[in-house]
Chains A and B, each alone.
Chain A
Amino acid sequence: MSDLETFRAEARAWLEENCPAEMRTPAKGDEDVCWGGRNFVFQSDAQKLWLERCVAKGYTVPDWPKAYGGAGLSPQETKVLRQEMAKLGCRSPLNSFGIWMLGPALLKFGTEEQKVHYMGQIARGEIRWCQGYSEPGSGSDLVSMQTFGEDKGDHWVVNGQKIWTSYADKADWIFCLVRTDKTNKYQGISFLLFDMQTPGVTTKPIKLISGNSPFCETFFDNVVVPKHQIVGEAGRGWDVAKYLLGHEREMISGMGGDGGVTSIGAAMKAVLTEEPVLRAQMALFDVENLTFRAHGERFMDEWKTGKAHPAYSNLMKYVGTELNKKRNELVMSIGGTQALEWESERSNGGSKARNWLRTKANSIEGGTSEVMLNVVSKRILEMPGA
């Protein structure tokens, strides 16, 4: 047996012994997801136990080094672990922007002290992070942001406003882009970390077309941030942000539904049999879905071996988010009038309609589809022009 197959057998045995039965059913919605953090209330003992066991094993962040709370697995071992988790239907023990976004940025740009401290907290699910990037006047043109940190020697005093801050009202800390030099557009931005309980920080949820409020407006009024809470050098925050956006794009591009290749068509067979044109649309969607899964697999394999173009995640983000929107359009069409229900128990509180509306943001957040196409065109295809 190869080393990898030995690892597979061990991982399987560990999961079978340690993953509680309640954690082997699909999460029904956001309420079922463990986000961790100071204020998180576990929905069940099983959820708490599953998190604790994974933390002890390093499996909340299996590919991170052991010194920072991970299990130190190789990319191949991580893939095997995920495959085995998928086979048993194990839920993710912990979801967080810390794992998906801040952690990788810290690993690349953070000091040893920051890695041990912040990555450890993330791995243990102790601190829930939010991201402060967009501002009311700076969406696609992110680098035009105005939130300003005035240099006061050993600290900055931050004033300004962020928007589309995901779960800011639930987060413990924020990683935030702050302009620390008004004279330099690209090299005048710093990447700061601070506690959302710092005096002067306030948040206000934004109600979306889905009726839900996953995003907030976040205001900073003379917020004091000590100098050691910077990642990378002062003025070089844009480098960190760009690197991290790459990870965000990978994450969003991976959101096309169940993360797998299972068709949603079989469950809708009764409707599809009666509606040949809709069935044809569903069939073509399944071709695209299988294609995207294979594309993602190939991209990850090339990424890990350093063969992927550095801007390739922009393409995956574009393709994945457009696909997810298409999927939800089909779910609504197949659902018909029942999918229109907004509140009933029958419709699980309007989940189809709300999910459908939520997905419209997929091709806006983290860089619009149009910006992604610009980047692909210029950086990968090397088309001329500004």
Chain B
Amino acid sequence: MAMTLNDDQSMLRESARDFMASEAPVTHFRKFRDMGCKDGFSHGLWKQFAEMGFTGILIPEAEGGMGMGQIEAGIVLEEIGRNLSPSPFLTTSVAAVEALKLADKAMRDRWFPGILAGETVIGIAIEEGVKHRPEKIACVAERSGNGFKLTGHKQFVVQGTSSDMLIVAARTAGAVGETDGLTLFAVDKDAAGLSMEAARLVDSAMAAHVKLDGVQVNADAVIGDVDGGWAVLSKMLDAGRVGAAAEMVGVGTGAMDMTFDYLKTRKQFDRVIGEFQALQHRAAHLYGEMEGARSIVLKAQSLMDEGHAKAELYVAAAKAKAGLACNLAVREGVQMHGGIGMTDEYDIGLYMKRDRGLNEFFGDAYYHADRVATMNGY
């Protein structure tokens, strides 16, 4: 495929760009942050996402969605990133939907309509430690009655307490550290033995610590195959990773554009500071890094959409590169803004906070660079 957007994709970008800029700009984010919103996002906005068709962007057309791919989901995510628009899009419409596509029809029928309507939120309960290590999952699912009993804990479950259902990865066989023996479960928010504690993060998103104390689920709660959950998990994680990478392209580009505008207006020593070569070279370097990130993310998305064997390698490289480039953009952004970059009143600091959250989401740049090395045979 050509590494340029086609006409339909360009139109989607225009409509997503207009929508986020008018309905969910940074002022919208600030409003919900300042009111101490317990969800960390607006349910009204989530409904508007549904009206635009965004919530079902990856759901097959036969099941009421738009039947699009990672490139299109990424187009929406870039605009979300550029505007810091808070929503469950990445977790629910990207990661969860990709997992549910591998579930049986009954489960898809149960959850897709709510997602399409912008009424349902799904939390991804994978992480158990401070760093992303999916093969280290220790949460246990024992056979019990007609199904399984889940025991363990999860953390960094974004929008967990706002979720209607959690996708929980648990071990049905094998030892901690093995990829075999994992199983994914759809766990209802009201299940007995499930408790959550919400924590506000540095970027004002809400994430839950989840405790599973003998939570009983039926056999039909299994997504994919028992003991073979790694396949579903990998698909879900890779969709989330490339999605987070696309959102970081938006965050980094937003921070960069804001900073370049500032360089062209701020005066010191009787000159616009953008005239100084020391800043020009850093600006040009940053632009190159963001352009590289944009390119590798597009490459990874198109390989995923093709079902290419190298998609996994490129997704890892894309998450790593987008993380590094976006991080550079927000650091340079704050530094080049000088003192006002440190104030809460200016938006640049909000981008720095969002970058930090997205970098940690489903594995940071170092985790993914390590995977690139492993996949490259060393």
Contact = CB atoms under 8 A, between A and B. Distances in A.
A269 interface: yes
28 contacts: A263-B377, A263-B378, A265-B373, A265-B377, A269-B378, A286-B373, A287-B320, A287-B324, A294-B295, A294-B296, A294-B314, A295-B295, A299-B295, A301-B4, A302-B3, A302-B4, A305-B2, A307-B4, A315-B284, A370-B281, A373-B285, A374-B284, A376-B284, A377-B284, A381-B260, A383-B280, A383-B283, A385-B280
A374 B370 contact: no
Given A280-B366, A295-B291, 4 more contacts: A290-B299, A294-B292, A383-B260, A384-B264
A282 interface: yes
Decide if the interface of chain A is mainly helix, strand, loop or mixed. Answer: helix
A315 B294 CA distance: 14
B272 interface: yes
Interface residues of B, number: 42
A288 interface: yes
Contact of A287 (B4, B285, B369, B378): B369
A283 interface: yes
Contacts of A378: 280
Contact of B288 (A294, A298, A319): A319
Contacts of B281: 370, 373-374, 377
Interface string A299-340: 101100101000000010011000000000000000000000
Contacts of B369: 280, 283-284, 286-287
A140 B365 CA distance: 37
Interface string B288-325: 10011111101100000000000001100100110010
Chain B at the A interface: SS class: helix
Interface in B317-338: 317, 320-321, 324
A281 to B, nearest CB: 10
B277 interface: yes
B10 to A, nearest CB: 10
Given A283-B369, A298-B295, A385 B378 contact: no
Contacts of A284: 320, 369
Interface in A340-386: 370, 372-374, 376-378, 380-385
A198 interface: no
A376 B280 CA distance: 9
A311 to B, nearest CB: 11
B287 A290 contact: no
Nearest to A284: B369
A288 B321 contact: yes
Given A283-B370, A291-B296, A384 B4 contact: no
Interface in B1-57: 2-4
A383 B262 CA distance: 11
Given A283-B370, A294-B299, A385-B275, A263 B376 contact: yes
A17 to B, nearest CB: 29
Contacts of A319: 288, 292
B284 to A, nearest CB: 4
Interface string B135-172: 00000000000000000000000000000000000000
Interface of A: 263, 265-266, 268-269, 272-273, 279-280, 282-284, 286-288, 290-292, 294-295, 297-299, 301-302, 305, 307, 315, 318-319, 370, 372-374, 376-378, 380-385
B373 A297 contact: no
B274 interface: yes
Nearest to A79: B2
B318 to A, nearest CB: 8
B100 to A, nearest CB: 30
Q: Which of A292, A302, A383 has the most CB of B within 10 A?
A: A383
B3 A301 contact: yes
**Considering the complex of A and B, which 10 residue pairs feature the smallest CB-CB distances, nearest first?**
A266-B377, A385-B275, A283-B373, A263-B376, A298-B3, A294-B299, A377-B280, A295-B295, A376-B284, A265-B378
B372 interface: yes
B263 interface: yes
B378 A384 contact: no
A376 B275 CA distance: 13
Interface string B253-291: 000000010011000000110110100110111011001
B292 A265 contact: no
B5 to A, nearest CB: 10
A272 B275 CA distance: 44
Contact of A268 (B271, B293, B295, B378): B378
